[in-house]
Chain A
Amino acid sequence: MAVNLDEGNLKDGLLGLVVALVEIIQELLERQALRRMESGRLSDCEIERLGEALSELTEALDKIKSDNNIEEAVQSVRSDLDLAAEDLIDKFLNPASWNEESQREES
């Protein structure tokens, strides 16, 4: 599955792609941070610092998005990537449907 960049405005499209990837990493980090916080290994001070840093990162990303007017570009790249991931999982879980699809394409 192809990820469609807005070719009319390559700069925005490219920035959108990069920001989308950073956003995905940031969400992953957030989830892992939550797991670490819940594990009880971190001190209160560390938890606070981690939370603060992550929320600052979110803020900075939002700022970059609104400054460059790329909210929609980012959103579209992300939904493309999500679709690609869904597609991949689907093919892993139902190899049969994959075969069907390739047969359909051949005929």
Chain B
Amino acid sequence: MNPERESCLVEVLDRLLNKGAVLNADLIISVAGIPLIGVTLKAMIAGMETMLEYGIMEDWDKSSRELYASQETHIPLFPGEQVLYKAFGYLREDEGLIKCWVPGIWNITSQRIILWIKTPGKVLFETPLENLRVLRVPASHEVRKELELIYPEGRTRISLSERDEFEEALAGAAEATNAMKRSEICESGQLPYQI
């Protein structure tokens, strides 16, 4: 096993992309000497840099980069909310015909749990830490490292390979929230406590 070894296949494909390849084909299907169906095929494959050198797809390149730049790149947080922990994980999508695991980045903030997807930047799932219960799925019922989230509106399954760390971070965050509530009670005569 030598991971440093240059891969021949990658090298070949890379050269192909750097050079670019074009396929042009015209085809007529005829019966009894009468052309009936015409086909014109055009295919091109090349690295984007090569495409741009030839002036192909310039507008598309520009507009897709601009589109990304206009999207949100950070999680919309409430004022005073902080991200405490981040880990790559999945959410089980039970709605619709196909049940599947949707990947994203799980964020534990001082107030919520959020599943964030980077491209396109959007929040796929969020629920406040308050009234949230987290259960471990019994090992016999799970394929991967799963957790069950139970919140007032329903329940959902999530999965993280760093499950232990996630649980720890969640416990820490919940404790901080409770601490906040306690201080709210202590200072009940004053304005509500804010972080």
> Which chain A residues have a beta carbon within 8 Å of chain B's beta carbons?
24, 27-28, 31-32, 35-36, 39, 41, 46, 53, 60, 63, 67, 71-72, 75, 78, 81-86, 89
Contacts and interface: CB of A to CB of B under 8 A. Distances in A.
B1, B9, B88: most-surrounded residue (chain A CB, <10 A): B9
23 contacts: A24-B10, A27-B7, A27-B10, A28-B10, A28-B14, A31-B14, A31-B17, A32-B14, A35-B18, A35-B47, A39-B52, A53-B118, A60-B88, A63-B88, A71-B1, A75-B1, A78-B7, A81-B9, A82-B7, A82-B8, A84-B9, A86-B8, A89-B12
A interface, by DSSP: helix, strand, loop or mixed?
helix
A89 B47 CA distance: 21
Interface of B: 1, 3, 7-10, 12-14, 17-18, 47-49, 52, 65, 88, 118, 161
Nearest to B52: A41
B52 A32 contact: no
Contacts of B1: 71-72, 75
A81 B8 CA distance: 9
Nearest to A80: B9
Contacts of A32: 14, 17, 47-49
B84 to A, nearest CB: 20
A46 B65 contact: yes
A-B pairs, top 5 by smallest CB distance, nearest first, are A85-B9, A82-B8, A32-B47, A35-B49, A27-B10
A36 B7 CA distance: 21
A24 B118 CA distance: 23
A81 B10 CA distance: 10
A78 B1 CA distance: 11
